[in-house]
Structure 1
Amino acid sequence: MQLPAQQVAVLEAATADDATSVDALAAATDLPPETVTGAVFELEAEELVAVTERVDETVSLTDEGREYATDELPEVRLYEAALEAGAGDEPVQMGRVIGTSGLEGPQVDIALSNYARKGYGSIDSGEITADPDAEPASDAEANALAELADADDTPVEGVDVDADTLEELERRGLLERAESTVREVTLTDAAVTELMAGLETAETVGQVTPELLTSGEWEDVEFAEYNVEADAETVEGGKVHILRQMSERVKDVLVGMGFQEMDGPHADADFWINDCLFMPQDHPARTHWDRFALEQPTHIDELPEDLVERVERAHREGVGEDSEGYHSPWDEDFARALALRGHTTSLSTRYLSGTEIGEIEPPARFFSVEKAYRNDTLDATHLLEFYQIEGWVMAEDLSVRDLMGTFEEFYAQFGITDIQFKPHYNPYTEPSFELFGTHPTTGELIEIGNSGIFREEMLEPLGVDCDVMAWGLALERLAMLTTGAEDIRDLHGTLADLEFLRNAEVTY
């Protein structure tokens, strides 16, 4: 029987008594594993070998995981620094603790996002506490890192770590799983018979070359069969990010509903971000713990003087007969302070005041899908940076019914028809309400936006004399409802789930 050289080599290296893996056959024949795999499939088709398959799963630490196995997890370092600073007895300023912990860059965010989750203490309003009874030595993730520190591609079955901990380490990007298909080969009776009778090697050619064509030898050689079932390397191509897909879809929907798009600066004066929204200057959200102030430059130079006067008067005295204002301090220097915008409503105040594109006559509809920045505590639904769907409608005689109907029409474009509303308080809208949607995987209600009718105290200084209904919706949470993502950190940030991003689709 004549067979190609690689098939003969495989048959002579395999046995009828024990299954031999493809890697073992490759080592025995000095052939590449992919060549052996191709020969095995061809021999199987000729019923000369029997092939069995199994999938082996292995785990190994990433470079970041190895770093933490040596230097401790960021949350453990934060806990130890907090204890040393006395946070076990009373709250301590978080900046002080972070400074002594030695954490830098992304490690700070990682530590903060896992600190409370593990019960090391709490973080609230820029202060940190530490539970003196917490035991870092019992940290399952830290112990798992130590267990896997010296192992590469360890079979999952041989790892003394529970499945939940492995899953959490993988989610954090500290551990990688790998699956490999192991094929094992056994000679059939027919192959044994042929081996005993003697095999001859037939010369075959694997590809057509220019030399074969020009010489004419291609007419006399035997070509190897092309194996379409042979394994090929997985190549991950580029893809538009899920949030970019969602953003473009939102823009298409809103433009289809008659809206125009706004844009404006990410770093802006507190005047546009908060003061024009009738947000008192002593409001807790305007402290340095909740906003990202600019170090250079610190203040804006130009603001419309007449508008500044009207806004200050609204804060001090109110607007109309039934409004008294706040009777609280108002400082123009504070209003000129520059910070990253905590919401994109700063764009709305710029446009409504006529400063950005000139006077806007009702009826008018505007929107933006832009990034905002808040010093929030990181969790499954909060990041320091997020995308906000800002929108407003200016018209006569608007009501809450109009606002709710707008939301129902908008979210229906994404297949979401169970929006729920809850009354809420905002300094700049009355009435106000929050929006909630049901997560398709967990079944939990999650907040997806805030809305209301702008108050007279906000509109009168801006020169608007008709109704304006407005909202700020969360793009990431809309993506969670449409893709089933359970954690905002799976969508973007240092802990993003790349496998999820490769496969997730915006559906509507």
Structure 2
Amino acid sequence: MRLPETQLALLEAASATETKTVAQLAEALGEDPAAVTRAAFELETEGLVAVEEHVAEEVAVTEEGDRYRDDGLPEVRLYRAAVDAGADEEPVELGRLLGSAALDGPEVDIALSNFARKGYGHIDSGKVDAAPDPTHDPNADPEAEALDAIANDNAGYLDAEVLDRLESRGLIERTETTVRSVTLTDDGVTALMEGIETAETVGAVTPELLASGEWEDVEFAEYNVEADAEPVNGGKEHILRQTANRVKDVLVGMGFQEMEGPHADADFWINDCLFMPQDHPARTHWDRFALDVPGMDELPADLVERVEDAHRNGVGSEGDGYHSPWDEDFARAVALRGHTTSLSMRYLSGHAVGDLEPPQRYFSVEKVYRNDTLDPTHLLEFYQIEGWVMAEDLSVRDLMGTFTEFYEQFGITDLQFKPHYNPYTEPSFELFGEHPETGELIEIGNSGIFREEVLSPLGVDCDVMAWGLALERLLMLMYGFEDIRDVHGTLCDLELLRDVEVVQ
């Protein structure tokens, strides 16, 4: 009998009494595991070896998980800092604890999202209330102990729920691999006893083989199409970007043009032009991200004057204004936009593309930033679908009809509308859609007809209906996601993003 060199070496390394894995045989032979796997399948076809398969799970700590093993989990560090500051007796400002807990950047969000979940306490209105007797002992946190066990190759006894949580947090990686074991058969033993010669094999036809005529005398290697190939995760457009692009296509098809503008803008464009009083709770540091930079000088002086007058005195004979403080320095202060309506104000005022004559339709699908409490439907940054229509004699029915046409393009036909109050629109209403998995009503947007106090200072003398819709909430209704943190952010599910089926 003649066999290729790799097959013969494998046959000699295999045992009739001891099962050996392909990995063990490859290491012993100094061969590539893929080559050994191919040789094993070929020998199995000849009846010389038996190949058994089983699926094994490998668990490894990620770089972020290793860092938390050294520094401690963010939520545990926050709890310890809170207890040291006396938050187990009286609530303490969150800002006081971040430094002593060594928390900054994304770790702040991670600590906040896991603090209450583990029973370490509650965070309300920016204050931390630490539990005197927490559900989990911070010195024996199950997730921290699990990270240590995995790092020490003792993951076998760990609870599956803990592993799932660590994986969702990106602290461990779990991979399923097919483990193949090889055992020598009786025919294999007999063949070795009788003697086997090495046969030189060729894996591919080359120009040299053809030119020399040697191809007629060589033995070609057989290929096993069932052998495993190395998994390749190619690049893929993020599901959120796919949906954003589709939203843009739909709105352009409905006759809208796209707006552009800065993410960091003057509070004047973000809130003052919207007739939002400067002492409104949403304009405090608890809800907005103010930037420590000089105020914006490039504001149109005449528009600033008209907006200030609307705030102080109202608009029209029956207007009364707010009679609340109005500070031009505050209006010029720069912050991350909490909504893309700042773009609408720039365009409606003529500041962005010049004066606009009705009818006009504009939209944007851009990121906004809010200091919200993290939960399955709220993030600190998300995408808003902003839009407005400028025309004569618009009504709420025009607005409702626009939403009906828009959401039908995504297979959503069960919209519900609820009256609402906004400082900048009247009438106003919120939109709700039914979650396809839970049946729960999900708020998906806010809308209304801009008030005269908004439009008059901008120089607009016709109706403007406007809205702000949440792109991530649209995704929840389309795909059945229950937690938008699965889609993007520090806890996103990479396997879900790789495998999710695109909805047309």
TM-score class normalised by the smaller sequence:
over 0.9
**Letter of the structure 1 residue corresponding to residue 34 of structure 2:** E
| Percent of aligned pairs sharing the same letter | 73
Residue in structure 2 matching 1:144, options 137, 143, 146: 146
Residue in structure 2 matching 1:331, options 327, 334, 355: 327
Partner of 2:201: 204
Structure 1: how far apart are the matches of 2:28 and 2:151?
32
Partner of 2:237: 240
Deviations 1:455-484 (A, max 9, x none): 122122222222211111111222233233
Deviations 1:132-180 (A, max 9, x none): 22232353222322333423xx5x5x23x21111101000011111211
> Do structure 1's residue 313 and structure 2's residue 309 form an aligned pair?
yes
Q: Is the 8 A contact 1:7 1:40 kept in 2?
A: yes
Q: Sort the Cα spacing of 1:309 and 1:121 in 2 relative to 1 into closer, same or farther, 3 A.
A: same
Partner of 1:302: 298
Partner of 2:222: 225
Q: Sort the Cα spacing of 1:131 and 1:28 in 2 relative to 1 into closer, same or farther, 3 A.
A: closer
Look up the SS of the partner of 1:170 in the other structure. Answer: helix
RMSD: 2.1
Structure 1: how far apart are the matches of 2:150 and 2:189?
44
User: Which blocks of at least 5 consecutive residues in structure 2 are unaligned?
Assistant: none
User: Which blocks of at least 5 consecutive residues in structure 1 are unaligned?
Assistant: none
Structure 1: how far apart are the matches of 2:409 and 2:290?
37
Deviations 1:241-269 (A, max 9, x none): 22221111111000000101111111111
Aligned residue pairs total: 502
Residue in structure 1 matching 2:407, options 394, 407, 411: 411
Look up the SS of the partner of 1:10 in the other structure. Answer: helix
Structure 2: how far apart are the matches of 1:366 and 1:95?
40
Residue in structure 1 matching 2:419, options 419, 423, 448: 423
Residue in structure 2 matching 1:482, options 468, 478, 484: 478
Structure 1: how far apart are the matches of 2:43 and 2:22?
13
Q: Is the 8 A contact 1:479 1:485 kept in 2?
A: yes
Look up the SS of the partner of 1:57 in the other structure. Answer: strand
Q: Is the 8 A contact 1:113 1:378 kept in 2?
A: yes
What displacement does 1:61 show?
A: 1.2
Partner of 1:384: 380
Partner of 1:24: 24
Partner of 1:132: 132
Structure 1: how far apart are the matches of 2:308 and 2:400?
32
What displacement does 1:486 show?
A: 2.9
TM-score, structure 1 normalization: 0.93
Partner of 2:256: 259
**Letter of the structure 1 residue corresponding to residue 221 of structure 2:** A
Partner of 1:46: 46
Deviations 1:169-219 (A, max 9, x none): 000011111211111233445444544544333221223455544543233
Deviations 1:351-381 (A, max 9, x none): 1122221222222111011111111122222
Q: Is the 8 A contact 1:489 1:496 kept in 2?
A: yes
What displacement does 1:304 show?
A: 2.2
Structure 1: how far apart are the matches of 2:142 and 2:434?
32
**Letter of the structure 2 residue corresponding to residue 260 of structure 1:** Q
Structure 2: how far apart are the matches of 1:197 and 1:139?
62
Partner of 1:365: 361
Look up the SS of the partner of 2:82 in the other structure. Answer: helix
Q: Sort the Cα spacing of 1:506 and 1:147 in 2 relative to 1 into closer, same or farther, 3 A.
A: same
Report which stretch shifted further, 314-323 or 456-465.
314-323
Q: Is the 8 A contact 1:60 1:175 kept in 2?
A: yes
What displacement does 1:447 show?
A: 1.9
Look up the SS of the partner of 2:469 in the other structure. Answer: strand
Partner of 1:287: 284
Structure 2: how far apart are the matches of 1:123 and 1:454?
35
Q: Sort the Cα spacing of 1:165 and 1:192 in 2 relative to 1 into closer, same or farther, 3 A.
A: same
Structure 1: how far apart are the matches of 2:305 and 2:414?
44
Q: Is the 8 A contact 1:482 1:506 kept in 2?
A: no
Structure 2: how far apart are the matches of 1:342 and 1:32?
55
Look up the SS of the partner of 2:59 in the other structure. Answer: strand
Partner of 1:451: 447
Look up the SS of the partner of 1:301 in the other structure. Answer: coil
What displacement does 1:322 show?
A: 4.3
> Do structure 1's residue 173 and structure 2's residue 170 form an aligned pair?
yes
Look up the SS of the partner of 1:288 in the other structure. Answer: coil
Q: Sort the Cα spacing of 1:218 and 1:401 in 2 relative to 1 into closer, same or farther, 3 A.
A: same
TM-score, structure 2 normalization: 0.93
Structure 2: how far apart are the matches of 1:189 and 1:419?
70
